[in-house]
Structure 1
Amino acid sequence: MTKSRSRGVLIRLAMLPAVGATVLVTLVALIAFATPSNADTTWSVVPADANGPDGRRVIDIELPGGQQVTEHIAVTNRSTQPVDFAIDANDGYLTAKGYFDMRPSDAKPADGGAWIQVPDKVTIAAGATAVVPVQVSIPQNATPGDHPAGVTASVDTISGQVRVQNRVGVRLNIRVSGTYAAKVTVTGVRAEYGWSWNPFAAGTVDVTYTVANTGNVRLAPDSRILTSTFAGESGWNDTSDAKAREIMPGGSRTFTARVAGTWPMGLITTTVTAIPSPAGKPLPGVTADRVSTVATVWALPWPQLAVLALLIGVFLAIRITGARRRRRMERLVILNGRGSPLGA
C-alpha cells in the first residue's frame, strides 16, 4: 500500500502487480473491490462497454495522434445506501517493485492522464451499477509509444482529523501509433563473491544491476547472467514471471540475482544480458537488440587453500614424527649394542 500526503489529504491506494490485466485495489486484496475504513461503503470498478461490464481487466487503447475514442468503466455500489463517487483520471506509473500505481487525485496529470475526460462524480443507488464514459483524446503532437494512465472511483471518509480518500480503479494502457522502439540499457552492474566454507562446494556470485527502458513502449525484459572463471562457466536464467518485470518508457528497475556453482579461481567475469520484449500486444516488425554489460570480481580459493595447508601440515607432522621415531629407534639399537657382552 502506498500513502502520500498532499494538501492535508491522506490518500491510501494499493495496487495489484503490473500484469497485463491490472486493476487498482484499495484496502482489500480483492480485484477492483474496496471497503473504506470506518464505513460500510463497498464498491467495485471494472472495464465495460456501453451496456455494462465486458469481462476485460484492463483497457487497451491504440490510436494515432489527433484521434479519440470513448471507453467505459462500470462502478457497482455494493453498499446498502446510495453513494456519491468521485471520478478522476491521472497518469500511471510502476513502483520500484513493479506494481502499477497512479498519481494522487489532486496532482495535475502531465501525460496520458491529461488526455482522459470523465465526469466529476456519479451517484449510484444501493446495489446498482453505473456505466461511466471515459473519453480518451490523443493530442495531434503526441509522441508515439505507451502513455500509462488510470481512472478511479473514490469515496472520502474522516479518520480523526484526517481526511482519507479510498480509490478503486482501472488501468488504461494508452498507446499512440507511430514508430515504436524497444530498447534497454544495463547499468550499475556489481558482483560480489560469496565463499562456501565447504571446500568441496563452489561458491556464489551475487549480482546487482539496473535495467532502464530507453524506448517508447512497455517492456518485460528477460535477463541472462553468466560467470566465467578458469574452472569453467556458470549461468543464471531469470525464472520469475516476465510480466512482473514490466518497465515503462523512461523507467528503470534494479534487480538482484545469485549465480551458484562458481569456483573461486581468481578473476571472475560476470556478463549481464538484458533481452527486451514488448509487454502487452505483440509489435510486428519491432526488433529489440539484447544488451550486455560485463563486471569483474576477484575471488581466491581460501577454503581450498586452508584444506591444502592443513593437508601439508598433516603430511609434515607425519614425516617429522616418523623421522623422530626412526632416530629414537637408531639410538636404542646403538645403546643396546654397546651394552652387549664381548664376544656375544
Structure 2
Amino acid sequence: MTTTRTRRVLLCVAAAAAVLCGPAPAASGQPPQGEVTWSVVPAKADGPDGRRVVDLELRGGERITEHVAVTNHSPRPVTFAIDANDGYLTDKGLFDMRAADVTPTDGGSWIDVPETVTVAGGATAVVPVAVAVPDHATPGDHPAGVTASLDTLSGQVRVRNRVGVRFNLRVTGDLKAALAVTDVHATYEGSWNPFAAGTVTVRYAVTNDGNVRAAADTGITTSSPFGSSTWTDGAAPRAREVLPGGMRQFEARVPGQWPFGRIGATVSVTPGAVDGAAAPPAAEPVTATVTTWALPIPQAVLSAVVVLVLLLLRVVRRRRRRRLETMLAEAKAAGRAEAARAQQADSVS
C-alpha cells in the first residue's frame, strides 16, 4: 500500500512539473487577426496623393513607375504580402482581383512589385509599382490591381485578407466601344388592387465586345395598346460598368403598366463614360425587344363581381315586382268578393 501511495504522489509531482516546465507557446510574428487593420491607396514617392484609383494611358513598350501607400492602423509592426494580378468585376459590379495563386495573363502580368513590405505600427510605407507594357500589347483597357494582404488562421483554415488599389491600364491605339444586349426577358407583376397599375420587370445581359470599359447607358420603352412609357437607368455609371470581354446581368422594374393585354419592352443600350474617365469612342445604341402578356385578372374579377351584383339586383327587383303584383291581384279579388257579398246582402233585405 505504501508503494502504491508513493507512486501516486510521484505521478502527481511529475504532472505538475510537466505543466509548469513545459515548452512556452511560440511567439507570433503578427498581431491577432482582430487587431490588424490597414489601408492601401494610390501615392507618389512621398506619400498618398488623394487619388482613388490609378488611371494610366500608355503606349506599347512604355514603362512607368507608380506607387501605393500601405498604412498600418495597428499598434505593432506588420509584414504584408504585396501582389499584383488581373482585375475583373463581380456579379454585383464590384472590382476585384484574381487570387494570388492564379497566374496573371493580362494587365496584372505587366506589374512588378516587392514580395512584402513591413510597416511599423501607426505608420505608412510607400511601395513602388513598376508597370511595363509589352511592345505588342493590344490597344484598349487591361484592368489590374495591387493588394497588400495578410494571412490569418480561422480555426484550421488559413484565410488571406486583401486590401488593394485598382489600376486602369489603357494601351493607346485603335479603341473601340461596342456593347451588345442579349438574353432579354420581361415579366408582368400585377397588383390585386384593380385600381392600381402593375410593374414590368425586364432582365437583360450586356456584353462588352469592344476593347474599352464602358457604362451601359440604358433606356427601356414599354408599349401597349393604350400607350407607351420610357424608363432610364439612373444608377451611377460605376454601377453600370462593363469591362472588355465581360458580361453583366441587369434588372429593371418599370412601374405604371396597366394589364390590358400585350406589352412590348425595348431595351436600348449605349456605351457611356465611367467615373469621369474619357468618354469611349462614339457607338450607335443597340436594341432588343421582347413582349409579355399582362392579363387583367383583378379587373376581370371586379367586372364579374359587378355583373353578379347587377344580376342579383335584377332578380330581387323581379321578385319584388311579382310579389307586389300578387298582392295587388289578391287585394282586387278580395275587394270584388266583398262587393259581391255586400250586393247580395242588399238584395236579400
Q: TM-score, normalised by structure 1?
A: 0.84
Which residue of 2 is the match for residue 177 of structure 1? Answer: 172
2:234 to 235, 239, 242: 239
Q: What displacement does 1:280 show?
A: 4.3
- In structure 2, the CA distance between the partners of 1:37 and 1:181, relative to structure 1 (3 Å rule), is farther
* Matches of 2:121 and 2:33, distance apart in 1: 18
Q: TM-score, normalised by structure 2?
A: 0.82
Q: Measured at CA, do residues 203 and 175 of structure 1 come closer, stay the same or move farther in structure 2, by a change above 3 Å? A: same
For 1:312-323, list aligned pairs within 5 A.
Answer: 312-323=307-318
Q: For residues 125-274 of structure 1, what are the structure 2 equivalents within 5 Å?
A: 125-274=120-269
Aligned to 1:97: 92
Structural RMSD (CA): 2.1
What residue number does 1:298 align with?
293
User: In the TM superposition, what is the alpha-carbon distance from 1:37 to its structure 2 partner?
Assistant: 5.3
Question: Using a 3 Å threshold, how does the CA distance of structure 1 residues 325 and 171 change in structure 2: closer, same or farther?
Answer: same
What is the match of residue 278 of structure 1? 273
Please say if residues 95 and 101 of structure 1, whose CA atoms lie closer than 8 Å, have aligned partners that are also in contact: yes
* Matches of 2:111 and 2:264, distance apart in 1: 49
Counterpart secondary structure, 2:51? coil
1:77 aligns with 2:72: yes
1:333 and 2:328 equivalent?
yes
Q: Does 1:58 align with 2:53?
A: yes
More divergent stretch after superposition (39-48 vs 130-139):
39-48
CA gap 1:198/1:50 in 2 versus in 1, 3 angstroms: same
In structure 1, distance between residues paired with 2:233 and 2:203: 13
1:284 Cα offset (Å): 6.2
Would the aligned equivalents of 1:36 and 1:42 in 2 still touch at CA under 8 Å?
no
Q: Distance in 2 between matches of 1:158 and 1:324?
A: 86
Q: Deviations over 1:78-111 (max 9, x none)?
A: 4443333221110111100011111111110011
Residues matched between the structures, number: 310
Task: Determine which of 51, 64, 67 is the counterpart of 2:62.
Answer: 67
CA distances 1:136-184 after superposition (whole Å, capped 9, x unpaired): 1111221111111111122223333322222222110101111111111
Q: Larger RCO: Structure 1 or Structure 2 (Cα < 8 Å, ≥ 6 residues apart)?
A: 1
State the Cα distance separating 1:334 from its structure 2 match.
2.1
Mapped to 2, the partners of 1:334 and 1:281 lie a distance apart of: 92
Name the aligned partner's letter for residue 47 of structure 1: P
Change (3 A) 1:337 1:196: same
The 1-side partners of 2:31 and 2:254 are apart by 44
Q: Identify the range of structure 1 (90-99 vs 278-287) with the bigger mean alpha-carbon deviation.
A: 278-287
Question: 1:309 — aligned with what?
Answer: 304
Secondary structure of residue in 2 paired with 1:147: strand
> Would the alpha carbon gap of residues 327 and 44 (structure 1) be closer, same or farther in structure 2, given more than 3 Å must change?
closer
What secondary structure sits across from 1:221 in the alignment?
strand
**Could you tell me how far 1:281 is from its partner in structure 2?**
5.3
Q: C-alpha distance in 2, partners of 1:171/1:265?
A: 49
Residue 129 (structure 1) shift? 2.8
In the aligned structure 1, how far is the partner of 2:219 from the partner of 2:280? 24
How many Å separate the matches in 1 of 2:136 and 2:282?
25
Measure the CA separation in 2 of the matches of 1:278 and 1:101: 20
SS of residue in 2 equivalent to 1:113: helix
2:128 equivalent to 1:122:
no
**Match in the other structure for 1:27:** none
Contact 2:55 2:169 (8 Å CA) reproduced: yes
Q: 2:40 aligns with which of 7, 26, 45?
A: 45
Higher helix share: 2
Q: Deviations over 1:171-206 (max 9, x none)?
A: 101011111111111111111111211111211111
| The structure with more radius of gyration | 2
Q: Deviations over 1:203-254 (max 9, x none)?
A: 1111111111111111111221121111212332222222122111111111
With over 3 angstroms needed to count, the CA separation of the structure-2 counterparts of 1:221 and 1:302, relative to structure 1, is same
Q: Deviations over 1:279-322 (max 9, x none)?
A: 24554681022111111111221211222222222222222222
- 3-state SS in 2 of match to 1:96: coil
For residues 80 and 136 of structure 1, what CA distance do their matches in structure 2 show? Answer: 32
Which letter does structure 1 place at the counterpart of 2:323?
A: R
Look up the match of 1:22: none
* 1:123 partner letter: T
Structure 1, 150-159 or 58-67: larger mean CA deviation? 150-159
Q: Quick one: distance in 1 between partners of 2:217 and 2:97?
A: 25
DSSP 3-state at the match of 2:301: helix
CA distance in 2, matches of 1:178, 1:203: 48
Given that residues 182 and 277 in structure 1 are in contact (C-alpha distance below 8 angstroms), is that contact kept between their aligned partners in structure 2?
no
Q: Give the aligned residue type for 1:156.
A: D
| 2:176–2:280 CA contact under 8 A, matched in 1 | no
Q: Hey, what's the Cα distance between the residues in 2 that align with 1:322 and 1:334?
A: 18
Alignment of 1:109 onto 2:104: yes
CA 1:89–1:285 in structure 2 vs 1: closer, same or farther (change >3 Å)? closer
